[in-house]
Every structure is written in structure tokens, then in C-alpha cells.
Structure 1
Amino acid sequence: MRELLLGLGMAAAASTALAADYSDDIHKNDYSWRQFNLMYAFDELPDTSGNDHDYLEMEFGGRSGIVDLYGYIDVFNLTSSKSSDKYGKDKMFLKLAPRFSLDGMTGKDLSFGPVKELYISTLYNVNGGSSNDVNSAFVGLGADVEVPWLGKVGMNLYGLYDMAEHRQDWNGYQFSANWFKPLTTFENGSFLAYQGYIDYQFGLRPEYASSSTGLANFNGLYWHSKRYAVGYGLKYFNNVYGLDNGIYNLKTTGFGHYVAVTYKF
């Protein structure tokens, strides 16, 4: 649910923003990565009051032929502390975001201008043990886009299908983008990076949401070495998940804070 994209950013930083080339071997650019993020969230929304909790994030991703994959599993309240706002609630959350290269599937260079590669993009969010919990699927079109100063940015435009038992219906759209920008490199090879993402939902249906839009925007500053990363992220929420601020006595607009320590495998 936090989507720090630390490892994904490392891979993006290592690659050049060139058009995809599948002319000889679709696996020549394969790679994989995985890492553990020990995290703490302060004032996460939506909530009625302070939403502070620890969690362990097992994050992974990579590339295999036409498939570009990102995902993570969050495990909340590791010590089962009764003082945590996650006590007695779902312990785990899963996000999977496989994208399938249209360049690779067609065998053609579909790049144009700043767009370096096109994808069929999918995204799955699942938590809890009940079919009425978060259980959503997104499908749409994605692209790797060269953006001035930021470099390569992954962009996706999805339609949302809510698979929860009480809905099972289409419900609006989501635009997502993520980036990773190295800022400065130190003498020992470690570096400082600006990384983040934006998820903007729109066209949400009134029978399923009190607001037609919802926004989450994460901006982080992280120090990276070969095996470790440490950082802080500021996240802005606005009617997040399509919930009007104040509805059900929930705060859905404001700022949350995240700190993380990462070990990279």
C-alpha cells in the first residue's frame, strides 16, 4: 500500500532512456531485484485520528522478456502491539503490477518522441481474507516516458474493476506515474535520490464513492548504497480512495510521513 519503489527506482536509474529493442533477443535486458523495507508510517490517511504503525515490506520486481513486473507484500504490526492502530485488523496487503510490452509482443519499435516503450498495464490490490476486503484489478495502457530533469518515468492509465463481493463492477479510472532521480553521488559510490509516485483516481461512480476523484502523491528523499537505503517520504492525500474529507468522521485529506530502512538482496 506504500509503494516506495526503491528497487524499481534503482533499476530505472541503471537503465538508459532508449527505445526498446527486441530485434535479436527479447531476454537480453532481463534483470530482477528484491529487498526488505522496515518502515514506520505517521499520520497515514484515511483515518479518524493519528494512524501510526510499523510494517515490513517485502518488495520485488524485474524484467523477463516482454514482462515488466513490480510488486510487494506488506506485513503490519510485526509485534502485534495492542497500541498499534493496526491491532486486530488485516495483517497483510499485496500489490502486483505486471506490464506486458507491446513492443516485445509485436516485434516492432513503437517509440515516438519522449515515449520509449508501450505496455498493456495491469495492477492488482488485495488484502484481508474476505471477498469484501480490498480486491481490485486495473487494466489499461502504459508507457516509459523521458521527462525533462526526472528522466525515465513509468506512466499508466487504467480502468478500475472492483472485485469485492458486494460490488463486482467498473468504477472509474486511475492515472499513475513513478520516478527515480539521482541527485548527487558521493565518493564512496553511494548516492542521494528523489523518488516518488502519483496515483490520481477520477470518474469514480457516486454509488461507490462520495468523491469522483482521489489523489495520493508520494515524494521521498533516500540515501542509497549497494546493500542499504535509508529515507524519508512525505505523502499528500486528497479525498484519497474517493472518500470526501470528513465523511464517516474520516480524515482523507492531508499529509502523512514515512521513514524506511532497506536491505537489498
Structure 2
Amino acid sequence: MIQNFFSTLLVVLALSPAAFAAKITDGDIHKGDYKWFQFNFIQSIDNKIPFEMQNDTYFELEFGGRSGILDLYGFLDVFDSFDSSKSDRHDGDNFFFKFGPRLSLDYMTGHDLTAGPIQEWFISTLFYIGDRDLFEQYIGLGTDIQVPWLGKLGANLMARHVRENFDADDEGEWNGYILTTNWFKPLVEFENKSFITWQGYLDYKFGANKIADDVDRTSWSLEWFNGFYWHTKRYSVGYGPKYYQNMALFKSGGFAGETSGFGHYLAATYKF
């Protein structure tokens, strides 16, 4: 199954139709470069992280940007930031790091691979790194899709490789896939140039069959976050409900606790 996935990936990478005009006609692939960095203060409420990690107050460093062929997004969560005994994270894991570099196939081939609503193709990678027992790596294909009303939707389909997974049977192996999407949709703009957005993501893991025989684990999981934020140039505040199903491939109600249902996030942000 993994071999078939990468065979398809290699075929797509080999496409370089002569009919497509070059995206960058003057050779300057850095014309559209940009970067952003922000500091988030977050309160999580009743979220469905395994082992009852539901409520915490923590800091997050979030960043992203574009430089030539490289498109980048990531964040670092530092849990129990106030060393509070009331936090579910107290004396537990200290951080979680998500890092997602993508390499533009359009820029690498020198051709515009736009097709209908598809604006650009990428080689997508993703890393999930936890404090103690989590290290997952992903690689596959990604696109930016222009969706009516919504605008640009990022989408990636990647194969999953496991370095560490809480002592699961799939450690050191390829096991399953992930489909990720993300969006940022301005809904209302005010005269002072502040605005309200609907922003979020959906991550769907599936096909992790090498742990399906474990009574406490499952081959698929879902995370779906929908945030509503008020933005100014330097600040934002917002609220987002998040729906979980079998979070982190742990069956809900098993030894990892409740991993399905709704959680809630409150956030205040300073933008650099």
C-alpha cells in the first residue's frame, strides 16, 4: 500500500507539461516572499487529548511564511506555563512541536502546474514531536486549491512514518496516511481595518492498520478545528471549538480515557 502511494507520487513529480507557461518569467522566485510570527496565550477546556489532558493554560509560538520554493508553517506549545497544580499538564509533558515544510513543484520544475482550481503543487512534509513518546513523520503531495467563497484551501495527503508512538507496535515503521486541510476566511471587515475570520483545519488519519489489533487503539482519527477570531494589525482574540474522534489513534473510553467529542480553545495573540 505504501509502495503504491509513492509510485503515484513519483509519476506526479515527473509531470512537466510543455503547455504550461513558466510561473516566474524573470527568474525571480522570491517576489512573493513573506513571513509572520506570533505569540499566542491559550486556554484549553475539555479537549480530548489522551490520558485526560483536557484543561491547561499555555503559551504558543506560531510562525509561517514563504521563501522561494519553501512554504512553511509550524508552532511550539509550551504546556503548564504557570506551573499550576490545577493544570492537567502539571508534572507531565512540557511541549508539542508541529512543523510542516512544503516544497513547491511549480518553482522546482520552472513550470506553472495550475489546473482549474488548483493553484500550486507541493512536496509536503510534516512532523509531530512530543515531549517524551511521540515522533511522527509524514511525506506526500500537497496543493493550494481556490474554493468558491472560502478562498485558498491548503490540502495535503501524506504517508505516515512512526519513530515514537507511546510504545505502539508500529514504532519504526510506515503505517497509514494523513489528509490535512487548512483555511483562513475573512468574514467581516470594519472601517478601522480590523476584521473577523473563520479559520481552522481538519486532520484525518487513516489506514494505520498495524495497530488495529490493539484493543486500545484504532486505525483512524479525526481532528476538526473551527476558530472565530477578531484581528487587528498587532492583536487578535478568539474562540474555537474542536471536534475529536479517536484522538492520536487511541480508542475513546479505553486506557487513554475519553478521546472523542468536543473541546474548546480561547486565545489571545500578539503579532510580531
TM normalised by structure 1 equals: 0.88
Q: Distance in 2 between matches of 1:250 and 1:85?
A: 13
Residue 153 of structure 1 corresponds to: 153
- The correspondence for 1:227, drawn from 214, 229, 234, is 234
Q: Is the 8 A contact 2:43 2:55 kept in 1?
A: yes
Q: Is the 8 A contact 1:215 1:237 kept in 2?
A: yes
Taking the TM superposition and a 5 Å limit, the aligned residue runs for 1:66-81 are 66-81=69-84
- Which residue is 1:61 aligned to? 64
Q: After TM superposition, give the deviation of residue 21 of structure 1 in Å.
A: 2.6
Aligned equivalents of 2:25 and 2:208: distance in 1? 41
Amino acid of the structure 1 residue aligned with 2:218: S
Aligned runs of 1:159-174 on 2, under 5 Å? 159-164=159-164, 167-174=171-178
One-letter code aligned to 1:164: E
Offset at 1:249? Answer: 5.4
Q: Does 1:201 align with 2:205?
A: yes
Aligned to 1:244, the other structure's residue is in SS state coil
Q: In the superposition, relative to structure 1, how do residues 20 and 220 fare at CA in structure 2: closer, same or farther (>3 Å)?
A: farther
Other-structure match for 1:216: 223
From 121, 135, 141, the equivalent of 2:124 is 121
Counterpart for residue 14 of structure 2 = none
Q: Quote the Cα distance in structure 1 between the aligned partners of 2:191 and 2:22.
A: 32
The answer for unaligned runs of 5 or more in structure 2 is: 1-20
Distance 1:259 1:20, change over 3 A: farther
* Alpha-carbon distance between aligned partners in 2 of 1:73 and 1:151, rounded to the nearest angstrom: 27
Match of 1:4 in 2: none
The gaps in structure 1 that reach 5 residues or longer are: 1-18
Q: Which residue of 2 aligns with 1:177?
A: 181
- Preserved CA contact (<8 Å) 2:159 2:178: yes
Q: How does 1:1-265 map to 2 (within 5 A)?
A: 21-24=23-26, 25-47=28-50, 49=52, 51-128=54-131, 130=132, 133-164=133-164, 167-207=171-211, 210-248=217-255, 250-265=257-272
2:176 touches 2:208 (CA, 8 Å); kept in 1?
A: yes
Alpha-carbon RMSD across the aligned residues, in angstroms, is 1.7
Partner SS state of residue 108, structure 2: helix
> Structure 1 residue 50: deviation in Å?
7.2
Q: Distance in 2 between matches of 1:164 and 1:45?
A: 20
C-alpha displacement at 1:67, in angstroms? 0.1
Residues 200 and 134 of structure 1, relative CA distance in 2, 3 Å threshold: same
**Following TM superposition, by how much is the alpha carbon of 1:213 offset from its aligned partner in structure 2, in angstroms?**
1.2
1:48 deviates by 5.4
- Over residues 172-193 of structure 1, what are the superposed CA-to-partner deviations in whole Å (9 max), with x where a residue is unaligned? 0000000011001011110000
Q: Distance in 2 between matches of 1:27 and 1:187?
A: 32
The 3 A distance-change label for structure 1 pair 239 and 225 is same
**What is the CA distance between 1:47 and its match in structure 2?**
4.2
The structure whose Rg is larger is: 2
Three-state SS of the structure 2 residue aligned to 1:79 is: coil
Aligned residues: 244
**Residue 22 of structure 1: how far off its partner (Å):** 2.3
The answer on whether the counterparts of 1:211 and 1:244 sit within 8 Å (CA) in structure 2 is yes
Post-superposition offset of 1:53? 0.3
Find the residue that maps to 1:218 and give its secondary structure.
strand
Letter in 2 for 1:104: Y
